[in-house]
Amino acid sequence: MRVHWSRTRLLGWLAALLLAVLIAFASACDDDPGYNEDELILATTTSLNDSGLLDELVPIFEDEHSVSVKIIAVGTGAALRMGVEGNADVLLTHAPAAELELLAAGDVTSRTLVAYNDFVIVGPPDDPAGVAGMTDAAIALANIFAFCVGGPCEFASRGDDSGTHKKELDLWSAVHIDPSIEGRDWYLEVGQGMSATLTVANQRGAYTLTDRGTYLALLEDISDLVILVEGDSTLLNFYSVMEVNGDKGRINTVAAQQFAEFLVRSDIQAVIGKFRLEEYRQPLFIPAADDTEEAISARGGAAN
């Protein structure tokens, strides 16, 4: 039997079909939170990742919140740019001045101190530049510069816009030296993470600036490097967690907030403080959730 449709009836049927499709689409959109609920993208520094601390912490968080954490370990400068561009949900970095700029610009909605350690200058045991025991890191670099330019030693720089690299450049600036234009043979710009830079320094018998945590974590593989300069309050190294602004796009703001709260929780702070403590008989990281950078600097980095 052939069914005959009038024009009016056909248009009515099409309108009803379109309405049903729109309702289904709207319902689907209502179920879409605007981001991947099952994944958290963490942009962090290579030095923190190389220490192994995240291997300890991230599985705990994943089990508690049923979310997969994708760790992107790059220099702090690159990690901060990921936040600005909306390519990460949460940041864990160590460049306070640059981090405060992101907070002021609204690229991140929070910045919370998590932990700290310190930077140290390491080098060959025979210490040709004679900086061992110096307590002013900038003056120690000036001595390295004076002895190594055209001489028998080298300095390995990360050269990657990381938090460690930024600190190194601050120290050179304090003694009015631009190492990148003062001859190239002695100044090695590795352009990679802390692990790779320490490896280069170890192989070449060069000096370098490193965070203490990564140095201790890799000590078995870089046994030809020893700590020569430490204890300067300017070498304090602060790690903070920042939640990326949800207005950037498909940002998992829920998991980012959960991760930020997780890191400063008392039991997790205890895990951070005990991380490889027994192995090295000194902390790789000192918990700082209930502290401030100003207070830590005022007491020279000593724990509460």
Same domain assignment for residues 163 and 196: yes
pLDDT at 183: 59
pLDDT at 28: 46
Q: Residue 97: which domain range?
A: 39-117+237-298
Same domain assignment for residues 128 and 224: yes
Residue ending a domain, choose from 219, 235, 251: 235
Same domain assignment for residues 221 and 196: yes
pLDDT at 27: 47
Q: Is residue 225 part of a domain?
A: yes
Q: Is residue 22 part of a domain?
A: no
pLDDT at 286: 95
Q: Is residue 176 part of a domain?
A: yes
Same domain assignment for residues 105 and 194: no
pLDDT at 140: 98
Q: Is residue 9 part of a domain?
A: no
Q: Is residue 24 part of a domain?
A: no
Place of tokens 């601390």: 53
d(CA 185, CA 149): 8
pLDDT in tens, the chain (304 residues): 454 555 555 555 565 566 555 555 544 445 555 557 799 999 999 888 888 999 999 999 999 999 999 999 998 999 999 999 999 999 999 999 999 999 999 999 999 999 999 999 999 999 999 999 999 999 999 999 999 987 789 999 999 888 899 999 999 999 999 987 755 689 999 999 899 999 999 999 999 999 998 999 899 999 999 999 999 999 999 999 999 999 998 999 999 999 999 999 999 999 999 999 999 898 999 999 989 999 999 988 766 6
Residue ending a domain, choose from 200, 235, 270: 235
Residue ending a domain, choose from 181, 208, 235: 235
Same domain assignment for residues 89 and 177: no
Same domain assignment for residues 214 and 173: yes
pTM of the prediction?
A: 0.82
pLDDT at 1: 47
Q: Is residue 111 part of a domain?
A: yes
Q: Is residue 54 part of a domain?
A: yes
CATH code of the domain covering residue 87? 3.40.190.10
pLDDT at 8: 58
Same domain assignment for residues 242 and 97: yes
Q: How many domains does the chain have?
A: 2
d(CA 237, CA 121): 13
For residue 242, the one-letter residue type is M
| Sign of the torsion angle spanned by Cα atoms 39, 47, 179, 199 | negative
**129 Cβ neighbours under 8 A, 6+ residues apart:** 123, 143, 144, 146, 147, 148, 153, 207
Taking a C-beta distance cutoff of 8 angstroms, is the pair 70, 39 a contact?
yes
Same domain assignment for residues 125 and 215: yes
pLDDT at 36: 72
Same domain assignment for residues 276 and 135: no
Q: Is residue 286 part of a domain?
A: yes
- Other C-beta atoms closer than 10 Å to the C-beta of 113 total 20
Burial of 15 (0-12, 13-18, 19+ CB in 10 A): exposed
d(CA 178, CA 41): 36
Same domain assignment for residues 74 and 122: no
Same domain assignment for residues 101 and 231: no
Question: DSSP 3-state assignment of 76?
Answer: helix
pLDDT at 49: 87
Same domain assignment for residues 55 and 65: yes
